[in-house]
Amino acid sequence: MAKILIVDDEPDIVELVSYNLERERFFTTRAHDGETALRKVKIEKPDLLILDLMLPGIGGLDICKKIRANPETSDLPIIMLTAKADEVDKIIGLEIGADDYITKPFSVKELVARVRTVLRRTQEGAKPSVKETFEFNGLSINYVSCSVLVEGCPVTLSPTELKLLFFFTRNPGRVYSRDQILNHVWGDDTFITDRAVDVHIRRLRSQIEKDMDHPQFILTVRGFGYKFADVK
């Protein structure tokens, strides 16, 4: 049974989300401020975090950054919960490592569906592949341990970034449209938009490319989509 930490300073929202997730056989734990959330992440080790953007004390974006910067929690799936509908806030959340976001007011059924999708995506990303490793131009991947090195230095990626990188490196040289990437990486029941694909790829590039303006691994194919470089 997956354990989900719900972080929001509005008790009614925490109660609503907790009640509905537990009805779906998830185990929930709660926090109403940033400090408590970080402590529970460390001690209770949840399988997924539902994180409000606007919190007293440490805000949601800073919590996300701290979680991603800590090797012990860097792969924790995060769904950002926000009252802000501005696309800029959503993009910032995705760029610092959130796996998905949902805007208040929200449908409880949609939130539960997103929780299932993110958890399933994380579990699938952890499955070993037939080919266990990949090497190309200083980029080293171990699909079994989910570890990534660039020029021998470890790189910390979110579950979504890992799955994107795994997908591209298992299919080098092949061009994929944004819709195809959505279907392969997020699945048919995704709530993610085409715009979010660009955000996640930019975030992934920032972690593995030496020069984001002239990438050598994940290449843009104008008018169509993206591909991993040709591997000879």
Three-state SS string over 48-86 comes to: EEEEECCCCCCCHHHHHHHHHHCCCCCCCCEEEEECCCC
Q: What are phi and psi of 67, to 5 degrees?
A: -65, -45
The domain that holds 177 is classified in CATH as: 1.10.10.10
The domain that holds 10 is classified in CATH as: 3.40.50.2300
102 and 28 fall within a common domain:
yes
E strand segments, the chain: 3-7, 27-31, 48-52, 78-82, 100-103, 133-136, 139-142, 147-150, 153-155, 176-177, 218-221, 225-228
How many domains are contained in the chain?
2
47 alpha-carbon distance from chain centroid: 13
151 alpha-carbon distance from chain centroid: 24
Report the C-alpha gap between 62 and 66 in whole angstroms. 6
pLDDT at 48 over 80: yes
pLDDT at 128 over 50: no
- Tokens 């029941």 correspond to 189
129 confidence band (pLDDT: 50, 70, 90): very low
Residues 6+ apart with CB under 8 A from 154: 147, 148
CA atoms within 13 A on the CB side of 92: 14
85 and 101 fall within a common domain:
yes
Model pTM score:
0.62
CA distances from 105 to 3, 56, 82 (A): 24, 20, 9
* Domain end (from 125, 158, 174): 125
Residue percentage of the chain with pLDDT more than 90: 45
Mean pLDDT, to the nearest integer, of 124-149? Answer: 80
pLDDT at 125 over 50: yes
Residue percentage of the chain with pLDDT more than 70: 89
CB 40 within 8 A of CB 5: yes
9 and 120 fall within a common domain:
yes
pLDDT for residue 3: 93
Domain that holds residue 216: 133-228
Which of the residue ranges 21-35, 60-74, 200-214 would you say has the lowest mean pLDDT? Answer: 60-74
Per-residue pLDDT tens over the stretch 108-117: 999 999 899 8
Mean pLDDT, to the nearest integer, of 198-207? Answer: 92
Name the residue with higher pLDDT: 18 or 85: 18
pLDDT for residue 124: 64
* Domain end (from 74, 98, 125): 125
The amino acid at residue 157 is: L
Give the other-Cβ count within 10 Å of 228's Cβ: 22
End-to-end CA distance of the chain: 44
152 and 101 fall within a common domain:
no
**Token pair of 133, please?**
């490793």
* Domain end (from 125, 153, 185): 125
Per-residue pLDDT tens over the stretch 65-97: 899 888 788 889 999 888 766 665 666 667 777
189 and 99 fall within a common domain:
no
99 confidence band (pLDDT: 50, 70, 90): confident
Report the C-alpha gap between 202 and 63 in whole angstroms. 21
Q: What are phi and psi of 226, to 5 degrees?
A: -140, 160
92 and 171 fall within a common domain:
no
pLDDT for residue 7: 96
DSSP run (H or E) holding 13: helix 11-23
